[in-house]
Amino acid sequence: MIKIKEIKAANINVNKFIEDKVRDIRESVGDGLAINALSGGVDSSVVTALGHRALGKRLKTYFIDNGIMRENEPAKVAAAFKKLGIKVEIVPASKAFFAALKGITDPEEKREAITQTFYKDIFGKLVVKSKAKYLLQGTILTDVDETVAGIKRQHNVFEQLGIDPQKAFGYKILEPLIELRKDGVRKVGRGLGLPESMFDRIPFPGPALAARVIGEVTPARVALVRKATAITEETLKKYKVFQYMAILHEDRVTGMRNNKRVFGNQIEIRCWNSVDARVATPTRLPFDVLEGIAAKITKALPEVVSVTYNITGKPTSTIEAV
């Protein structure tokens, strides 16, 4: 297994890092083409900007609309990159993802279904269509660590698990951010001249809202967690914290609506303090803020009767629920 040497955020020489990676990407791709997937998350945004600096129009950037993204995310992300002069093609793919996720409740099987749909079905086809030989992606060291340690199979880790992407999917993968952690990636984002809203936003995982639905991921259950996510993000965006999220639980609980019993859904809110996602502690949010989120969620979503707040750190919890 290749041992990756970490570049700590405190030690990074951003300009040199960008220069080196631009040169490496150009050398690998030669005069061919590369493609990359942009989800709007910090890592994929930074890798998109880095890849365009290296390859210009020879990098084709796609937003895979997998049906499990946040509210209006595809259009928002494409518009933000258009402003930077980077064209993003939106690929509608929600049917393929929901078909792959149907009936699956085990977290690792869910992650595997998303990985296979993403890399084999969708990217396999895009590579053939675009004639690209390389996929550029924003894997970071924390993704690799957690996967290799057997904590969570991150959607974007292959070689460290002995999987050759060329053999498995028909293309090579370039990972220019793999020596960095989230704080280092943010510095590179700033160095590339990205707007702060892109590199300073809260992390969002590759498996998207599927990482926040416990149990089966159906369009209806994603719609519930999407709405709860929008409310949570809107309320908490003023706090300088690492990450926050809403999670839909599989278990239902007894609640009441219009003085009648209902066996309804429950949403869990998590809000994290962390530097690099390896360890994290729950933020001590003011109680009235939490009560406000609960009131808004139960008002907007009649199916939800209970909202809870996670008070456990990582470890033993992890940041995402799936």
Query: Should residue 318 be labelled a site residue for ligand XMP when binding is judged by CB under 6 A?
Result: yes
Residues with Cβ within 8 Å of residue 218, at least 6 apart in sequence:
98, 101, 102
| Other residues' Cβ atoms within 10 Å of the Cβ of residue 143 | 25
What does the DSSP 8-state code read for residue 120? I
Min dist CB 313 to ligand XMP, Å, is: 11
Tell me the sheet residues that pair with 272: 243, 282
Nearest CA-CA partner of 31 in 50, 55, 61, 52: 55
- Select 148 or 253, whichever has its Cβ closest to ligand XMP: 148
Query: Should residue 314 be labelled a site residue for ligand XMP when binding is judged by CB under 6 A?
Result: yes
Min dist CB 60 to ligand XMP, Å, is: 21
Query: Should residue 146 be labelled a site residue for ligand XMP when binding is judged by CB under 6 A?
Result: yes
Query: Which one among 155, 181, 187, 227 touches ligand XMP, defined by CB under 6 A?
Result: 155
Min dist CB 251 to ligand XMP, Å, is: 20
Q: Map the footprint of ligand XMP across residues 228-257, applying CB under 6 A.
A: 243
Min dist CB 85 to ligand XMP, Å, is: 25
Residues with Cβ within 8 Å of residue 291, at least 6 apart in sequence:
none
Q: How many residues does the chain have?
A: 322
Min dist CB 212 to ligand XMP, Å, is: 9
Tell me the sheet residues that pair with 60: 35
Alpha helices (H) along 237-308: 287-300
Query: Which one among 66, 154, 298, 306 touches ligand XMP, defined by CB under 6 A?
Result: 154
Tell me the sheet residues that pair with 136: 36, 174
Min dist CB 288 to ligand XMP, Å, is: 27
What's the CA gap between 222 and 244, in Å, rounded?
17
Query: Should residue 205 be labelled a site residue for ligand XMP when binding is judged by CB under 6 A?
Result: yes
Q: How many residues bind ligand XMP (CB under 6 A)?
A: 17
Query: Which one among 152, 181, 212, 296 touches ligand XMP, defined by CB under 6 A?
Result: 152
What's the CA gap between 36 and 51, in Å, rounded?
8
Contact segment (CB under 6 A) with ligand XMP among 17-25, 206-214, 217-225, 291-299 equals 206-214
Q: Can you say whether the dihedral through the CA atoms of 307, 108, 77, 24 is positive or negative?
A: positive
Min dist CB 317 to ligand XMP, Å, is: 8
Residues with Cβ within 8 Å of residue 137, at least 6 apart in sequence:
36, 37, 44, 47, 156, 173, 174, 175
Query: Should residue 74 be labelled a site residue for ligand XMP when binding is judged by CB under 6 A?
Result: no
Query: Should residue 175 be labelled a site residue for ligand XMP when binding is judged by CB under 6 A?
Result: no
The gap from C-alpha 11 to its chain's centroid, in whole angstroms, comes to 26
Query: Should residue 320 be labelled a site residue for ligand XMP when binding is judged by CB under 6 A?
Result: yes
Query: Which one among 40, 203, 264, 282 touches ligand XMP, defined by CB under 6 A?
Result: 203
Query: Which one among 48, 156, 232, 235 touches ligand XMP, defined by CB under 6 A?
Result: 156
CB burial class (10 A; 0-12, 13-18, 19+) of residue 51? buried
Judged by the rule CB under 6 A, the positions of this chain that interact with ligand XMP are 143, 146, 152, 154-156, 203, 205-207, 211, 243, 277, 314, 318-320
